[in-house]
Structure 1
Amino acid sequence: MFVDSHCHLNYDGLRDDIPGAVARARAAGVGTMLTINTKLREFDEVLAIAHSHPGIFCTVGVHPHEAETDQASVEAIIERTHDPLVVGIGETGLDYFYDNSPRELQQIGFRRHIEASRATQLPIVIHTRDADDDCAAILREEMGKGSFPGVIHCFTASRAFAEVALELGFYISISGIVTFKAAEDLRETVKIIPLDRLLIETDAPFLAPIPHRGRPNEPAFVAYTAAKVAELRGLDVRELGRITTENFFRLFSKATPPAETAA
């Protein structure tokens, strides 16, 4: 019924009980999970998790926080996409809120991931925080060199940035932040995202939605995000689940839907 399009199953809060987290996700109707690579040195661990349970896929990439210490080459990223369970590139992008890596190195790393996405046509998973203008400029410039698919994950940016992302063909993924009291601007943006470009995620173990704030997030909790997004769009939650699941497999076309996996 649901896809958690972005989680970190190798992070503290999840890695010590992956079978339990998967079982709880299944019980909540989550048939597919995408576990995200953020450090190239941890890729083998992330890939092993994807291979540990049916319905889990993974990405390869370096988070902008790691851009200074983990300068993955385009070739190194592409080489790791050959496994059938590696279905996307990233997460990558720009984070000017924490500035854990110099902005110039973040931008260089972002462009390398875009090049890998363009070469493989695997979707790029984009993190952007307090960097709307630079992120939009890079995406526009790079799209001019040749198209590449992607998603803006855990969307918290402006409506104007959402419009740029949609214009460039990207999907937009909504996390549990949409349930937070202070997230009124995000809720208004959710109302204008075309339904065929909408994804949902947890970003687990971070950002647990209401009513679970203050505890580690997990893929099962994507159901709460789905319920809030369905309410905002005037849809039955099952219909929202169907739409976002179809969207996920359209974007991450290398991933195999559950029925095909079972077959």
Structure 2
Amino acid sequence: MAEEKKEEMVPVTAEYEVVDQVDDQAIIELMTGQTIQDYVYSFKQGGRTVEGLTLAGINEAANRRGGIQVEEIEYEELENSWIATAKAVDTITGSSRYGAYEQPKMSGGRSDPFAFTKAIHKAQRNAIKQLIPVPVIREVLNFYLHRKAGSGNSRQQQIPQGGGNIAQAQKATFAIAANLSDSLEEKGITKADLWNYMKRKCGVESRNDINEMQWTQLSAELKAAETTPQLLNDLCERIKQLTAAAQESDVPTTEESEDKPSTPSEEPKTEAAQSNKTPF
């Protein structure tokens, strides 16, 4: 743990960058519905072996410990980055810790559609890991290191490249929306309200006109709403505001029948050919 604190005090190091890239990959895997691959990291630097828990590993350790939850999240949008702060509470001991993170909006010379979500997850990570007892961290670390060594999995970390498949981004958005459906209904947001909000936000008449970047941004927005009640309330407020603005302007909206994302080979469907079912 002392080693991890040292990393936080001096973040601009090769070690910190490697760990941050691993966590970036884990967040993208989570957002796109992939299986999380790495719970631990282990690599050589300066003649020593550096080992620790990734974001996924920290969440796993918190789940094993139990009683640790995030109660508050605040965020601020700056010109070139997102800043997020989170408060984690140990409901067993009553202790609480704060974590923060500033995530650049650009990655690899292009806009990062996951920047906001990365800021939220990393702020939570930084708060949660301060509350996990050292024995629990060691238990999880040793378990996954042994399992990784036993399987002979020496897969090198690869940071996902941009330009993914639009169908994958669609599927991620639909899956997250389905998970949020009940929570949104409880707050008076119907599936049709959510779908119309997404179309208005993207400035399109049909889901077939939403591009890959927009699907990815929508999935990031919905995924963030899954993390805390506060972000869910923020999403509901945005939906209500946009719906009210559209009603005041007497802008007609149409509902689409798709309940699953289309494949790239599908021909765009006209609004007239679609029924009154909502997509989620």
Decide: shared fold, TM above 0.5.
no
Relative contact order, higher structure (CA 8 A, sep 6+) = 1
TM (norm. structure 2) is 0.23
**Bigger helix fraction:** 2
Larger radius of gyration: 2
